[in-house]
Amino acid sequence: MTKIPPEPAEPTRRWSSVKLILCVSLALNLLVAGLFVGGLIRQSPSGDHRGSAGRGDIGATVIMALPRDTRHALREELKQDGEFDKNRDRLSAMPDLLDELRSEDFDAQAFVDVLSEIRQSRDERLAKIEEAVSRGIAAMSTAERSAYADQLEEMLQNQKRCARR
């Protein structure tokens, strides 16, 4: 009696195909996850991701181009001012805005008045921020202002490149 050896070739080939499919699937999943995380990082206005911070908003770009220590000092100055609260205006007007929207007799003019109050308050806050930024820039030496101008120019160029995409 002769023994017939089993044929191992077919199962080995199948396992290799499964491994290949799993590796390709993993690679695609990592690619998608990387694109998602990269998009989150690129759009984040915080930290030192200066290339895309404030995209489309020149005021934010002017602030983000400042050196980190100057930005922190300005933030502390505005916090100590007592009137700088980024959510104060939006949150304080929300009950009036929501009440007006839920009203049986919607008054379009009252709605516009609430929005106008929000805009006026925002404009006052922005004026204070602009004054603080101006004082921070005025305190810089000529070399620091030149470096700041270079950083601002680079960020504006990055914004132009992003806008073309």
What's the chain's Rg over C-alpha atoms?
28
Query: Does one domain contain both 85 and 108?
Result: yes
Task: Specify the pTM.
Answer: 0.54
**Rounded to an integer, what distance in angstroms lies between the CA atom of residue 107 and that of residue 95?**
15
pLDDT tens-digit series, residues 53-102: 444 567 888 888 888 888 888 888 888 876 566 556 567 778 888 888 88
76: domain CATH number is 1.20.120
**Rounded to an integer, what distance in angstroms lies between the CA atom of residue 137 and that of residue 128?**
14
Six-digit token string for 114:
């609430």
Query: Does one domain contain both 15 and 93?
Result: no
C-alpha torsion angle, residues 74, 77, 81, 83 (rounded to 10):
30
In a domain, 75, yes or no: yes
Query: Does one domain contain both 87 and 110?
Result: yes
Domain with 87 in it = 56-164
pLDDT tens-digit series, residues 1-39: 567 766 655 555 556 777 777 777 777 777 777 666 666
**Rounded to an integer, what distance in angstroms lies between the CA atom of residue 37 and that of residue 78?**
32
* Residue 63 contacts residue 54 (beta carbons within 8 Å): yes
Query: Does one domain contain both 130 and 84?
Result: yes
Q: What angle do CA 104, 106, 108 make, to 5 degrees?
A: 180
